[in-house]
Amino acid sequence: MSLALDPRQRAMLQEMGVHVWLPAAAADLPVAAPALPAAVRATPEVPNNAIESVATSIATTGATAQKSLKASAPPEAKETAASTGVLAADVVSLDWPALTQAIATCQACPLCTGRRAAVLAASDAPRLADWLLVGEPPDDADERAGAPFAGAAGQLLDNMLKALGLSRHAGSGVAAPAAEAVTADTAAYVTPIVKCRPAQTRNPTQAELATCENYLRREVALVRPKVILALGRFAAQGLLQGSVPGLAGTPLGQLRGQIYRYQGIPVIVSYPPSYLLRSPQHKARAWVDWCQAQEALRRGG
């Protein structure tokens, strides 16, 4: 894969003082690493701590998830799977206000138990965007903020978006005059794969991922992205569990470097920002993934 930066991006990177370089372990990468923007390299480390889809397509996915879980799932998981098809039919026609309300009050799966608040896309998130970023389940900072990628992880995410001339905030121009609003081609819609953080922190089950995917499908239908970045293992599972065999047992690193499909939209898998803060040596690999996503968008998938 080769990355062709346009003159605007080249000028921006020059202004940032970015020099072209390759990571030491380049032979280990699927493609050569483009220059890593200074804003991304310099992020301080912190401690570990679609096009509109139709109702029949959504209902079919719910029925498939129900059938696959029926034989071996515990009673609560079976109950969740049984409600998936109903939830899909309810969600498919919602507009933005109704979708926001439905997510905020959802009790379709056990993840809502003990939550303080659902985690939605930020209130100033763009409503149309060429880029869709799907993050991991919310953490405590996300729940307190009511939006994904809060704190240091959000700062790193914003730096990476800025390096590609993108913003997840509809009211602020990036690589453009301040008065110019973000348009679909410079906008990134950011959402978590599941919307709740239970009181007892745990990983979401496959049934819970399938249930919450109905909300994601509606977000995709409304946002109409041209490329999707799955940032993390659970984000990848929620998007691809119906199309990639053995996905649950596949390490995240092995899912990188390929283009998958969700609702016909190209999907690229990469590391979540929180992981990059703990393992900064993988930032160059993440930058390769983001550039692969940008090229997929330029090629039209």
Tokens 């879980």 found at: 69
pLDDT for res 298: 94
Distance CA 39, CA 108 (A): 40
Q: Please check whether residue 282 lies inside any domain of the structure.
A: yes
pLDDT for res 241: 87
Q: Please check whether residue 26 lies inside any domain of the structure.
A: no
Distance CA 277, CA 152 (A): 8
Domain with 115 in it: what CATH number? 3.40.470.10
Task: Centre a 10 Å sphere on the Cβ of residue 155 and count the other Cβ atoms it contains.
Answer: 17
202-205 — which CB contacts under 8 Å span 24+ positions? 203/137, 203/234, 204/111, 204/137, 204/234, 205/77, 205/80
Question: Which pLDDT tens digit goes with each residue over 272-282?
Answer: 999 999 999 99
pLDDT for res 24: 42
Task: Centre a 10 Å sphere on the Cβ of residue 15 and count the other Cβ atoms it contains.
Answer: 10
Dihedral angle at the C-alpha atoms of 293, 294, 300, 301, nearest 10 degrees? -10
Distance CA 210, CA 207 (A): 5
Work out whether strand 227-231 and strand 260-262 pair parallel, antiparallel, or are unpaired.
unpaired
Q: Please check whether residue 36 lies inside any domain of the structure.
A: no
For every one of its 301 residues, what pLDDT tens digit does the chain have, with 9 covering 90 and above? 445 556 655 555 554 444 444 444 433 444 455 566 665 555 444 444 433 343 334 334 444 444 443 444 444 444 444 456 667 778 999 999 999 999 999 999 999 988 899 999 988 999 999 999 999 999 999 999 999 999 899 999 999 999 999 999 986 444 433 435 689 999 999 999 999 998 888 999 999 999 999 999 999 999 999 999 999 999 999 999 888 888 888 999 999 999 999 999 999 999 999 999 999 999 999 999 999 999 999 998 6
Quote the domain boundaries for residue 149: 55-298
* Total number of domains in the chain: 1
Say if CB 55 and CB 88 are below 8 A apart: yes
Q: Please check whether residue 247 lies inside any domain of the structure.
A: yes
Of 292, 121, 137, 296, nearest in space to 222 by CA: 121
Say if CB 159 and CB 217 are below 8 A apart: no
Ramachandran assignment for 220, one of left (phi > 0), alpha (psi -120 to 50 degrees), beta (any other): alpha
Q: Please check whether residue 6 lies inside any domain of the structure.
A: no
Instruction: Please report the beta strands in 37-92, taking only residues with DSSP state E, as ranges in sequence order.
Output: none
Dihedral angle at the C-alpha atoms of 232, 240, 264, 293, nearest 10 degrees? 20
pLDDT for res 270: 98
Q: pTM, whole model, 2 decimals?
A: 0.74
Of 138, 96, 78, 130, nearest in space to 114 by CA: 138
Question: Residue 83 to residues 115, 152, 203, 254: CA-CA distances in angstroms?
Answer: 20, 36, 20, 33
pLDDT for res 256: 95
With a CB cutoff of 8 Å and minimum separation 6, the contacts of 195 are 103, 106, 111, 118, 119, 120, 138, 212, 215
Q: Please check whether residue 12 lies inside any domain of the structure.
A: no
Say if CB 120 and CB 246 are below 8 A apart: no
Say if CB 115 and CB 199 are below 8 A apart: yes
Q: Please check whether residue 161 lies inside any domain of the structure.
A: yes
Q: Please check whether residue 256 lies inside any domain of the structure.
A: yes
